[in-house]
């Protein structure tokens, strides 16, 4: 059911969160967590169920069967094609991504994987359940997928040469559309989270292999 108040709250949370991440980089983590905190508090106050938040365990297998092609594209094909293409034709982009890999700070896979799983769940709750899900009744599902993906791309902004930054944001935008389509076809955040997590793990493994 549409609610003007919920729409206004969603837009404000998006503006504050993204603005903080872009202009107050030292507090980026806090602003990234703001939408998740809002979503959980709002769900409690308005008596929303876990299913309303996208945690649909009962239909997970059915949703996977319905979305298997989109899942494969997001989790495996997109990342593999991107890394191999960049390695062959745009090595500067590969170096740009490798420079921000956590392994450069000594983080092991044993630590990285649970951190990655939790952070990606937060991203999916933010950009799929909250932004995409709450905007869909007002601007249509395709427009909500695009809007959430633009926000998702901007939230991952990393400074550098214009061509590299544009490529980086563009590829992140495309990946986000894939996650958004998966979510839109069942409103199951578990499935979009799994595709996102597997895709990031594969991309990290490929990038490490190229170091």
Sign of CA dihedral 162, 164, 170, 176: negative
Answer yes or no: are the C-beta atoms of 84 and 207 closer than 8 Å: no
Answer yes or no: are the C-beta atoms of 80 and 202 closer than 8 Å: yes
Give the separation between CA 192 and CA 45, rounded to whole angstroms.
26
- Report residue 22's pLDDT band, with 50, 70 and 90 as the boundaries: very high
Helix extents (H) in the chain: 4-23, 28-45, 60-66, 68-72, 78-89, 91-98, 109-124, 133-139, 141-155, 162-184, 189-209
User: What is the separation, in whole angstroms, between the first and last Cα of the chain?
Assistant: 50
Give the separation between CA 174 and CA 86, rounded to whole angstroms.
15
Token pair belonging to 117: 């799983």
pLDDT digit string, tens, across residues 176-209: 999 999 999 999 999 999 999 999 999 999 988 8
Give the separation between CA 33 and CA 47, rounded to whole angstroms.
21
Answer yes or no: are the C-beta atoms of 182 and 70 closer than 8 Å: yes
Which positions ≥6 away from 199 have C-beta within 8 Å? 74, 75, 76, 78, 79, 175
pLDDT value for 104: 65
Section 11-19 average pLDDT? 97
- Closest listed residue to residue 204, CA positions, set 70, 112, 130: 112
Which positions ≥6 away from 76 have C-beta within 8 Å? 198, 199, 202
Domain boundaries, the chain: 52-209
pLDDT digit string, tens, across residues 54-98: 999 999 999 999 999 999 999 999 999 999 999 999 999 999 888
């Amino acid at each position: 059911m549409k609610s003007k108040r919920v729409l206004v709250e969603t837009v404000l949370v998006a503006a504050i969160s993204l603005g903080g991440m872009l202009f107050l980089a030292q507090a980026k983590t806090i602003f990234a967590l703001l939408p998740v905190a809002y979503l959980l508090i709002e769900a409690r106050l308005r008596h929303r169920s876990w299913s309303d938040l996208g945690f649909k365990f009962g239909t997970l297998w059915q949703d996977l069967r319905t979305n298997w092609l989109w899942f494969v594209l997001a989790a495996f094909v997109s990342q593999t094609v991107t890394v191999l293409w960049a390695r062959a034709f745009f090595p500067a982009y590969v170096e740009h991504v490798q420079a921000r890999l956590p392994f450069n700070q000594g983080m092991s896979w044993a630590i990285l994987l649970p951190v990655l799983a939790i952070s990606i769940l937060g991203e999916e709750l933010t950009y799929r359940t909250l932004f995409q899900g709450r905007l869909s009744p007002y601007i249509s599902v395709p427009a909500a997928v695009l809007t959430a993906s633009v926000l998702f791309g901007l939230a991952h902004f990393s400074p550098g040469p214009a061509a590299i930054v544009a490529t980086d944001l563009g590829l992140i935008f495309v990946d986000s559309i894939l996650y958004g389509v998966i979510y839109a076809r069942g409103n199951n955040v578990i499935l979009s989270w799994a595709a996102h997590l597997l895709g990031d793990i594969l991309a990290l493994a490929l990038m490490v292999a190229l170091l």
